[in-house]
Amino acid sequence: MHPLITPEALADALSARPAAVVLDVRWRLGGPPGRQDYEVSHVPGAVYVDLDTELSAPPGVEGRHPLPDPERLQEVLRRAGVREGGQVVAYDAADGSVAARVWWLLRWAGFGEVAVLDGGFAAWQAAGLPVSAEVPAPEVGDVVVRAGQMPVLDADGAAGLAREGVLLDARAPQRYLGETEPVDPRAGHIPGALNAPSAGHVGADGRWLGAAELAERFAAIGVPGDAAGGEVAVGAYCGSGVTASSVVLALEVAGITSAQRPAALYAGSWSNWCALDREVATG
């Protein structure tokens, strides 16, 4: 399954039997809760899943959004109706970065048929497709979480990759440069990391750039184009491991990595790096 799906293709998938499971993961850093938007209107049949409490473990030294306990994740996905052999589509309200966390988590859990709605809920509405305020009660699914199917970095691994491969920082340039830090206790970036802001994956219309445009963007940042062949190791991080998931997705769309050789994710990201009091670079 391609990592991105258009609103029209999702509408077709919802009319198929069995229908795709749709997960609404709208979320804002600092709130208000995305569930409020979901209760007003959402893609018909979509199930709301909370990033903070259902797709992450409690915050701590491991970061602000540590990877969830596999049994807990399996419970959440089954309650949403996810079944073995089915399809899942996730959407958010912004540039797809939060939905990409779901895409990455399901791939990490060994579930391959998952995609992000290109353009999110705004694109669904712009296409004139129906919305609903009805909260569904899906039949409980039978998905089995087989954790560990995507490469994950810890702080040492991230530091090593920044020296010996390519480590991409998905945060805004001001945070990467150390000019400001609105969330974490220290400003700056992991020494040797390159800045690849997640907001740059989408165009002015909120839709993802095409493969060629993404490849050009990554080449300009300094990412070699042959990571899919195993010639260079690539990884990504952000503030807490959420928006970095969209870098992993974008690298795959660009053809720089592949489903067989995906980029690694530093799941703890900057929040974990700061908690461990690791070396910081600025500028």
Q: In this predicted model, what pLDDT tens digit does every residue of 191-226 receive, in sequence order?
A: 999 999 999 999 999 999 999 999 999 999 999 876
Predicted confidence band of residue 227 (pLDDT cuts 50, 70, 90) = low
Are residues 119 and 159 located together in one domain of the fold? Answer: no
- CA 171 – CA 166 distance, rounded (Å): 16
pLDDT tens digits for range 234-251: 999 999 999 999 999 999
On whether both 95 and 163 belong to a single domain, the answer is no
What mean pLDDT value characterizes the chain? 95
- CB-based contact 187:175 (threshold 8 Å): yes
Whether 207 and 110 map to the same domain: the answer is no
Distance CA 256, CA 233 (A): 11
Query: Which structural domain range is residue 249 located in?
Result: 152-275
Peptide bond into 185 cis (omega under 30): no
Question: Half-sphere exposure of residue 90, counting CA atoms within 13 Å on the CB side?
Answer: 31
**Residue in the block written with tokens 């199917």:** 149
Q: Which residues on adjacent β-strands are paired with residue 23?
A: 47, 90
* Contact present, 158 and 270 (Cβ < 8 Å): no
In this prediction the pTM is: 0.95
Of 77, 92, 127, the domain-final residue = 127
Clarify whether residues 104 and 156 are in a common domain. no
Cβ 46 vs Cβ 10: under 8 Å: no
In a domain, 135, yes or no: no
Residue 160 is assigned to a structural domain of this protein: yes
13 CB-near residues (< 8 Å, 6+ apart): 5, 19, 20, 87, 89
Task: Name the β-bridge partners of 60.
Answer: 63
| Position 178 in a domain | yes
Closest CA to 201 of 247, 266, 155: 247
pLDDT of 228 strictly over 80: no
Task: Give 189's strand partners.
Answer: 281
The confidence score (pLDDT) of residue 133 equals 97
Same domain, 241 and 166: yes
Domain membership of residue 105 (yes or no) is yes
Do 209 and 247 lie in one domain? The reply is yes
Task: State the Cα–Cα distance between residues 138 and 143, nearest whole angstrom.
Answer: 14
* Exposure of 179 in the CB half-sphere (CA atoms within 13 A): 7
Q: How many domains does the chain have?
A: 2
Q: State the residue for tokens 């089954």.
A: 78
Pairing of strands 166-169, 114-117: unpaired
| Model confidence pLDDT, tens digit, residues 142-193 | 999 999 999 999 999 999 999 999 999 999 999 999 999 999 999 999 999 9
Would you name the residues annotated as active-site residues? 238
Cα–Cα dist 169/216, whole Å: 17
User: Are residues 121 and 15 located together in one domain of the fold?
Assistant: yes
Whether 143 is in a domain gets the answer: no
CA distance 279 to 188: 10
Q: How confident is the model at residue 94 (pLDDT cuts 50, 70, 90)?
A: confident
